[in-house]
Amino acid sequence: MAQSSESPFARRALNLVRLGFNELTVPVLAVVTALVVGGLVMLVAGGDPLLAYLGLWEGAFGDAKAISETFVWATPYIFAGLAVALAFKGGLFNIGAEGQLAMGAVVAAWIGYALPGVLKIELPAFIHIPLAVLGGAFAGGIWGAIPGWLKAKTGAHEVINTIMMNYIILLIASFLLNGPMKDPNPLNVIARTPSIAESARVPRLLPDLRVHWGFVFALGVVVLVWWLLYKTTVGFEIRTVGTNPNAGQYAGMNVAWITVLTMGLSGALAGLAGTIEVTALNYRHELSFSLGYGFDAITVALLGKTHPVGVALAAILMGAMRNGATRMQFLTQVPVDIVSVIQSLILLFVAADVIVRFLFRIRTPKQGDAMMTRGWS
């Protein structure tokens, strides 16, 4: 019985593997094509693509420290990528992950350094850490839910509102970190908060490496989001409203509520990206800490085909590229901007998979879920 490949379990497993391969084909080929085209750009503009890619590889996976740093980089990408992907599933385009993660970081930092003093109590780590993490997620969720609510209530498009709210939170954070929340140490000249309390710090996984439990937590959230989307009623409602809000309406779903909820959850996930950076890595919030996770997250979500597991893989790839970039520059002095070029090419080839399918003669599959074909309204 064990060797029989006819057993339903084995067949199911095989199907799953095959499905996985099928799903992976286009993204993998897109990445390969992007690397080739990026290499050509380097050749034309003066640079050694082979040495550059070797550096990129070494910097990302060359040794234990490199891998640890790749996971450190990947962690915010996983959260932010999940945020954008979840919104996509609900038929919404969340360009505001950047702002939501800033919101999460500000609040988590405040809970981390100020809350014990305000409450005049010592908080044990098993309370303080979850408090900071959930507080940050909640704040991000609020910042995401506002454009969701505006969309449900007035029809105002979430793309514009999330862009506007990115600018607004950037300015609020700039004001707070230069004013009320600035580290009061007289020698401090940087726009940053004080260090968060020891009790609010997420511990590291291994003694000498920076990879932390936040990464494991991120992987857990990947499973959680998968479960939410595919195994719960709410997830079913989100996906239904995402593909066809009218159908959702007829089925008696509260479309407005689902819209707010989707954006709120999306914002909370993005908020976690900022929160984990504060509580597990930097131990404080600094103004220049995020220079575009929220935007890179769009690439991550699409490369991962908006599936939570795909997002996790894409996030690790993205983290590897950003992490490996400095090793690449150390070896070749190639400008790090090349990573952005490659990133845009990946996005191009994933989004316009017609090109990849044409290049590699892959048949177009039957119509999948028609994600994101709606416009402003």
Taking only Cα atoms into account, the Rg of the chain, rounded to an integer number of angstroms, comes to 22
Q: Does 30 bind other proteins (CB under 8 A)?
A: no
Q: Does 295 bind other proteins (CB under 8 A)?
A: yes
Residues ≥6 apart with Cβ < 8 Å to 113? 193, 194, 195, 196, 197, 200, 284
Q: Does 189 bind other proteins (CB under 8 A)?
A: yes
Strands (E), the chain: none
Which residues, 47 to 106, sit near other proteins by CB under 8 A? 47, 54, 57-58, 61-63, 69, 72-73, 93
Which residues, 256 to 285, sit near other proteins by CB under 8 A? 277, 281-282
Q: Does 164 bind other proteins (CB under 8 A)?
A: yes
* Residue from 274, 327, 295 nearest 163 by CA: 295
217 in Cβ contact with 345 (< 8 Å): no
- Site size toward other proteins (CB under 8 A) is 96
Q: Does 35 bind other proteins (CB under 8 A)?
A: no
Q: CB 47 → other proteins: shortest distance, Å?
A: 8
Q: Does 375 bind other proteins (CB under 8 A)?
A: yes
77 in Cβ contact with 300 (< 8 Å): yes
Question: Which lies closer to other proteins via its Cβ, residue 35 or residue 234?
Answer: 35
Which residues, 296 to 315, sit near other proteins by CB under 8 A? 298-299, 302
* Interaxial angle between packed helices 337-351 and 8-45, expressed in degrees from 0 to 180 and rounded to the nearest 10: 130
- How far apart are the C-alpha atoms of 137 and 107, rounded to whole Å? 9
Per-residue binding string, other proteins, 215-254, x by CB under 8 A, is: ----------------------------------------
- How far apart are the C-alpha atoms of 307 and 228, rounded to whole Å? 12
- How far apart are the C-alpha atoms of 301 and 298, rounded to whole Å? 5
Q: Does 183 bind other proteins (CB under 8 A)?
A: no
**Residue by residue, what is the 3-state secondary structure of 186-236?**
CCCCCCECCCCCHHHCCCECCCCCCCEHHHHHHHHHHHHHHHHHHHCHHHH
Question: Which lies closer to other proteins via its Cβ, residue 265 or residue 301?
Answer: 301
Q: Does 37 bind other proteins (CB under 8 A)?
A: no
Which residues, 347 to 366, sit near other proteins by CB under 8 A? 347-348, 351-352, 354-355, 360, 362-363
Tokens of 330: 């150390």
Q: Does 208 bind other proteins (CB under 8 A)?
A: no
Q: Does 376 bind other proteins (CB under 8 A)?
A: yes
Q: CB 233 → other proteins: shortest distance, Å?
A: 28
Among 161, 240, 266, 279, binds other proteins (CB under 8 A): 161
> How many Cβ atoms from other residues are within 10 Å of residue 355's Cβ?
15
Question: Which lies closer to other proteins via its Cβ, residue 233 or residue 367?
Answer: 367
Q: Does 156 bind other proteins (CB under 8 A)?
A: yes
Q: Give the residue carrying structure tokens 């360009």.
A: 95
Which residues, 104 to 133, sit near other proteins by CB under 8 A? none
